Amino acid sequence: MNANIVEITLQNAQQYLIAESSQRPVLVDFWADWCAPCKVLMPILEKLAAEYSGAFLLAKVNADQQQEITAQFGIRSLPTLVMMHNGQPVNALQGAQPEAEIRKLLDEYLPKPWDLKLQQAQDKIDAGDLAGALSDLRQAHDESGQRSDIGMMLAQLLLMMNRADDAAVLLKGIPMKDQDQLYQQLLAQLELKQEAAKAPEIQELEARLNADPDNLDIAYELAVQFSQHQYQREALELLLGILRTNLNFRDGGAKKIYLDILAALGKGDPLAVEYQRKIYNLLY
C-alpha cells in the first residue's frame, strides 16, 4: 500500500487522526465492503494520495470493523470523507464525490505554493535582508494571483525600505472589500512618509524652531520629520501644540497628520490611547 495511505484502528487512531493532522492534512475515508459508492470513490482517493506525494495522508476507516471510531465521528451514511486539520475535523463530504470536489477540499487545507516564499521572506526580514525579502514577497504576490493580504505585506516592507511610491501603487490596487485595519494603518504610514519626504532634516528644523519658537510652519515640518524617524511622542506633542494654537492649521493638515500617527500606532497602543484622550479633550 502507498506509504501515504493507512488503515485506521483503535490502536493507531490517536497517532494518525490527531497527531499526524498537526503536521499535514489527514483525509479520513469512512467506507464498507457492501457500499457500492465507496468502491467508486476509493480508486480516486488512492490516485490522489499517490499524486500529492505525501502532502496529505489518506486514512481509511472500515465502518463495519471500526464501529466505535465511526460512532465518535457521528457518521450517518457511507461513503463519508472527513478532513482532519490540527487535530480537529474541519470539513466533510458525503456520498461518492467527483475528483474535482475532492481536489477542492484538499487544496483548501494544503500549503499553498507561495507559503514557503512568505516564510523565507519573514526569515530574511528578521535577518535584516530586506532586499532578499522583497524578491520573495514579490514572487509570492504574483504566484498567489496578487492576494490582498500578501500585497499589504509587500507594501509594509516597501515602507520599511522608504519606497513610498512603490507602496502607494500597491495600496491603490487593494480592493475596497479588503481595506481592513492593517490597510488603514499602512495608508497612514504612507501619508506620513510622503509628508516627511518634503521636510528638511531634524537638526536643521530644531535649530530653526529654537530661533523662532512660535513659527507653526517649522513646528509642523519638524513634527512630520520626527514621525518619519519613529519619534512619535515628540511628533504628537508638537502637533498638539499647533492644534492648541490653530485647530485648522494648514487647512486641517496638522490634525490629519496627528490622526494618521495614531492610526499608524494602532488601536490599543498606550501612546495612541494617551494622545487620543488629549485630542478628544481639545476638540470637545
Is 38 designated active site?
Answer: yes
Q: Residue 128 — φ and ψ, nearest 5°?
A: 85, 5
The rounded distance, in Å, linking the Cα atoms of 81 and 26 is 10
Q: Which residue has the cell 472500515?
A: 62
Terminal C-alpha separation, the chain: 74
Q: Assign 29 to helix, strand or coil.
A: strand
Q: Which of 42, 151, 52 is nearest to 109 (CA)?
A: 52
Active-site pick, 6, 27, 28, 38: 38
Residues 6+ apart with CB under 8 A from 125: 133, 157
Which triple of cell numbers denotes residue 152? 499589504
**What is the residue type of 258?**
Y
Contact (CB, 8 A) for 183 and 166: no
Distances (CA, A) of 266 to 16, 37, 54, 67, 203: 42, 54, 41, 52, 28
Within 10 angstroms of residue 171's Cβ, the number of other Cβ atoms is 21
Distances (CA, A) of 213 to 177, 209, 210, 217: 45, 5, 5, 10
Torsion of CA 142, 148, 152, 157, to 10 degrees: -10
Contact (CB, 8 A) for 61 and 30: yes
Give the pairing of strands 88-94 and 26-31: unpaired
Active site residues: 35, 38
